[in-house]
Structures are given as C-alpha cells and as structure tokens.
Amino acid sequence: MPHNAIQQDVFNQLERLNSIGVALSAEHDHKRLLEVILLGAKELTNADGGTLYTVTEDAKLKFEILRNLSLDIAMGGTTGKPIPFPPLPIYGDDGKPNLTMVAVYSVANAKTVNIPDAYLTEGFDFSGTAKFDAKMGYRSQSFLTVPMMNHENEIIGVLQLINAIDPLTNQIIPFSDSHQRLVESLASQAAVALTNQNLINGLKNLFESFIKLIADAIDEKSPYTGGHCQRVPELTMMLAEAAINTDTGPLRDFTMTEKEVYELKIAAWLHDCGKVTTPESVMDKATKLETTFDRIHLIDQRFELLKTQRENAHLRKAMDDVRSGKLVNAKYIEHGVNVIKKQLDDDKNFIRKINFGSEFMKPEDQQRVRDIANYEYLSDSGHSLKFLSENEVYNLTIARGTLTPEERSIINNHIVVTVNMLEALPYPKDLRRVPEYAGGHHERMDGKGYPKGLTREQMSIPARMMGIADIFEALTSRDRPYKKAKTLSETLDILGKMKLDHHIDPDIFDLFIREKLYLKYAEKFLEAEQIDEVIEAKIPGYTGQA
C-alpha cells in the first residue's frame, strides 16, 4: 500500500475513533452505549465478530453484547434476544483466577491479549471455541481481548474481538499493533463513558430511592393516608400517557418528552413532601373530639354522671312528696326514670355519631349540640357546670369532616411547606418545573384554590393533571378517618360537579372519563365493592365528545 494511502488510512481510523468517542459521550441509554462500544471496535478493526463483557459485583464476566457478521448472530443490547451463555466466573473454588480463559486472564492481569490463531496458542483453553466452530462450521482464529479500566484502575469490562478481516482479500488476519492501540484507546474512552453513566445512574437511583423514602415516611406517618403518596404518581402517569397518546379533543397536540415525563413523575412523588411538618394530632384526627386521645369517653362518663344525678333528683322529689303526704304512684316514678334514661341515652348516641364527622352536618344537628351543651351537672364540690365546654361545642359542630378551620389551615399549610421546600433545591435543568407541578394540586381553575390562587391559564397541563389525580385518590381512598371509601360512580359524580364548578380542568377530566382511566386505576387499587357500574352519560358535565 503506498505511503500516502497508509497515512490516509491511519487518519481515517483516528477520525473514526474520535467520532466514536463523541458518540460515547452523547449516549445516555446503557444498552445502546454498550453497542456503540462493540460495534465501534469491530468497525475500527474490521473484525467479523465480538463480545462485550461487564464485570459483575460477584466477580463474574457477564455477556452483554454478542455479534458475528458471518454467522448472522446479534444478541444482547437492544436486540431483545438474550444471550444464552452463563457468566464466566473470574475465580475458581480455590479463590484463584481461572487464567485458562483468555477474558479472565485479561481481567486478572489488566493487560491486552492479542492471539494470532487460537488453535495454535498454548496456555489458554479454547476447547469450547473449537466445539462451537465445529457445530457452526466456523473458524475462530485471531482474538483481541482488551480490558476496560476506569479512573480508579478497576476493570469494569472486557472487549473481545474475533477474526480481523483483510479488506482487500477478505481473509482472516491477525489483529495488528495499530488495531490493538486503537481498540485500547477506545476501551479507555468506553470505560470512562460507562463509569460516568454508572455514576449518573447510581445518583439517579439514589435520588429516586430517597424521594420514595420520603413518600413512604409520609404515608407511614399517618395510617389514614397510607399509600396516598404512592398512588397519586401512578394515576398522574396514567393521565400523562393518555394525554400524550390521544389524537382527538383539545389535548391532541399535547406532547411530553421522556425527560418531561420523568420530571412529572418526580413531582408526583414529592407532591405532599411538606406533610413531614404536619402534626400527627391534626393529620390523624379521626374524630371531632380527638386531641391526643378521643374525648368522647369523657363525655360518655359525663352522660352517666348526669343520668345518675337526674335520676337521684327525680327520686328525691318523689321522697319529698311522700313525706308531705302526697300519693306517689310507683309506676309514675319508674316512668320518669325511664324518660330520663332514654333522653340522655339518645343524646349520648347522637354525640357519638356526629363525633365521627361527615361531609355535611345539618344546622339542626349543630343546634342540638348547643342545646345539649346547656345541660348542667354538679361537680364534686357541688358547683353547677355546663355539660359541654366551648371547645367541645366548637369541635362537635364542625360542618364537614373532623377538622376545625384552624386545623384545616394547618393541613392546608403542607402545600406551602411543599413549595418552599422544593423551591429551595438546586435542580438540574431537566427538573426545574418540579416545584410548579408538585405545588399546584390544590389550585382551582377559577383561581379560588391555594396556595397561590392560580387560574387555569396560569397553570401547566401537567400541574392540572396532578390536581385530578390527588382528588380522585382521596375520594376513593379506604383509609380516611372521616368518611367511607366512595364507589366509582359516586366519585365520578363528585368530580363531574367539580368540573362544572370550575374546580378541575375540564379537558383532562373528559380525557379521564373517555379513556376509562378511572377503571384502569380501580382495577389496580380499589376494592371490588367500590367498582360499581358507571353510566358515563349520567356523569355531570361529561358529554362524551372529544
């Protein structure tokens, strides 16, 4: 080959090595990265076949990619075809490296092994290769095995090439010294790329695990919201996928990149992180009278005391009548005692019932609490006391749920804390919208929500998705202290009214119904008795039209 042609060939190889190096730096998918490494090495050396191994934590060489042009073999990587060979153990039962395997030898000695002809080489066991050749009608001849060493001088993989092909004669030739240097240079770049990717993936996994740990801690903090922080992300992702895939309706042009979907997923996991500061006494308030304990038991005792005092007063009056010479009917006395017992037992049962809270307390029930509060009983010292304290009346007359306005404010403050916590973090560019997505699930489309009072136009579509996901999960949840889990039809009726009331996004709600995401979610998370028949035509505000 003329000198100029040789120089040009070397230049072309260096250019190709450089372009492969650029590709290695740009590739983020692990399987594709491994393929770029092996296919690049094959191209640089015009090798017929090759294998890329990675070193596992249990000291084995795992087959990652396997290619052979002549035999039309492509396994591992992005092919979807698993490699049927088990990993190669680096060490034997005696703890010593199995140096008869060339790939293991390369790892154990941290050096390249260049073999012109496997069948003529001593010191290595190529019996398995010979059997493979005999079965496939192939001839494995030249081998180039190069270890991949990271910045900490650890071998993280092995690049093995088979049968360099002369481009002019198509004959198998040994791998040249220039081939070896090129592949060693590529292996060095590849090790850096793999290490960086492993470090990034490791940090990403740590980040995700930490986020899920926070979510789990919040769910564990309260037995009444257990699983909420895990279920909301699931439903949010269902909504995002449906919005991306729909080709009809107002959301037909909506798209999200893979990175944007990941950003929304992280936000969904963190949407209630501010609850770490919410007191358990408020978060877990299962009844209206609960503080550190349920004060209903004190009122029960008070009812029994009042019953005794009223019975005694009734009997004393009867005794006074006897002493004054009046005729006293025993049945009349007994009837009076029974009336006292029945009235106070009815009152006690009423107080116990309304203590559990509901979605709406009638004004007449609130007035009955105030009437009962005016009952009087005698203390041990003989002083007359009101039956219920102001605080007890205040709690027992809560119109919705079990929380007072002050306690509701404490609960609502979790979203303010969430936003403050998330906005304080130094996000990379791809996660900069996490605070917006996570902080918007209590906003309303008409601007009457909190914490910022944003309108629909001021909110992104992903943030609006989280609002519906949060509400639907809360309505169908089985573990809230003040309500029973609602059925699908009940929940969708409430959501439909929320759409008409400009509480939730109308387009996302319609998509939620049209794509039957409610049913997909229900089949995964709800109890069988909650999954009742849904007549979509009867859902308020839903027309069924895209």
pLDDT digits (tens, 9 = 90+) for 370-387: 999 999 999 888 899 999
Specify the pairing of strand 155-165 against strand 143-149: antiparallel
| pLDDT (average), residues 341-349 | 94
CB 456 within 8 A of CB 498: no
* Higher-pLDDT residue of 479, 408: 408
Secondary-structure percent of the chain, ordered helix, strand, coil, rounded to 5: 55, 10, 35
What's residue 7's pLDDT? 47
Tokens of 330: 């025993």
pLDDT tier at 5 (50, 70, 90 boundaries)? Answer: very low
Spatial distance between the Cα atoms of 357 and 345, rounded to a whole number of angstroms: 20
- Assigned fold of 3-200: Beta-Lactamase (3.30.450)
Q: Other C-beta atoms within 10 Å of 190: how many?
A: 27
The token duo for 540 is: 């308020």
Cα separation, 363 vs 405, in Å, equals 17
Nearest by Cα to 88 from 68, 58, 110, 67: 58
Given pLDDT bands bounded at 50, 70 and 90, which one contains residue 287?
confident
Q: Which fold is adopted by the domain 222-284+406-538?
A: Hypothetical protein af1432 (1.10.3210)
Q: What is residue 6's predicted lDDT score, i.e. its pLDDT? A: 45
Distance of CA 74 to the CA centre of its chain: 35
Which residue's structure tokens are 């919208």? 433
The rounded distance, in Å, linking the Cα atoms of 526 and 471 is: 15
Express each pLDDT in 425-470 by its tens digit.
888 888 999 999 999 999 999 999 989 999 999 999 999 999 999 9
Query: Residue 360 pLDDT > 70, yes or no?
Result: yes
The pLDDT of 161-165, averaged and rounded, is 95
80: Cβ contacts below 8 Å, ≥ 6 apart: none
For residue 522, what are the contacts with CB-CB under 8 A and spacing of at least 6?
476, 488, 530, 531
Q: Which residues have a Cβ under 8 Å from the Cβ of 266 and sit 6 or more positions away?
A: 208, 211, 431, 434
Distance from C-alpha of 164 to C-alpha of 144, rounded to nearest angstrom: 9
Look-up of token digits 């092909």: 165
Q: Are 129 and 118 in contact (CB under 8 A)?
A: yes
Domain locations in the chain as residue ranges: 3-200, 222-284+406-538, 296-400
* Arithmetic mean of pLDDT, 322-326: 80
Mean pLDDT of 193-201: 77
Give the model's pLDDT for residue 25: 58
At 423 the pLDDT is 87
Tell me the three state secondary structure of residue 538: helix
* pLDDT score of 215 more than 50: yes
Tokens encoding 546: 């895209």
pLDDT > 60? residue 510: yes
* Dihedral angle computed from the Cα positions of residues 323, 325, 326 and 327, in that order, rounded to the nearest 10 degrees: 100
Decide if 47 contacts 162 (C-beta within 8 A): yes
CA 47 to chain CA mean position, Å: 45
Longest dimension (CA), the chain: 144
222-284+406-538 matches 3-200 in CATH topology: no
3-state secondary structure of 384: strand
Nearest residue to 464 via CA among 494, 504, 502, 431: 504
**Arithmetic mean of pLDDT over the chain:** 87
- Give per-residue pLDDT as tens, 481-504: 556 778 999 999 999 999 999 999
The residue among 374, 372, 392 whose CA lies nearest residue 384 is 374
Section 300-312 average pLDDT: 92
Distance, C-alpha 136 to centroid of its chain = 48
Which letter does DSSP use for residue 343 in this model? Answer: H
Q: Which residue has the higher pLDDT, 222 or 167?
A: 167
Burial of 15 (0-12, 13-18, 19+ CB in 10 A): exposed
Q: Is the peptide bond before 451 cis (omega within 30 degrees of 0)?
A: yes
Is pLDDT above 80 for 110? yes
Instruction: Return the SS3 of 482.
Output: coil
Residue 306 to residue 320: CA distance in whole angstroms:
21
Confidence of residue 243 (pLDDT cuts 50, 70, 90): very high
Q: Taking the CA atoms of 106, 112, 118 and 121 in sequence, report the sign of the dihedral they define.
A: negative
The fraction of the chain above a pLDDT of 70, given in percent, is: 92
Place of tokens 């916590």: 421
Per-residue pLDDT tens digits for 35-92: 878 888 888 889 999 999 999 989 999 999 999 999 999 999 889 899 999 999 999 8
Which is higher by pLDDT, 534 or 34?
534
CA distances from 123 to 100, 105, 117, 118, 127 (A): 6, 10, 13, 10, 12
Burial 283-307 (b: 16+ CB within 10 A, else e): bbbbbbbbeeeebbeebeebbeebb
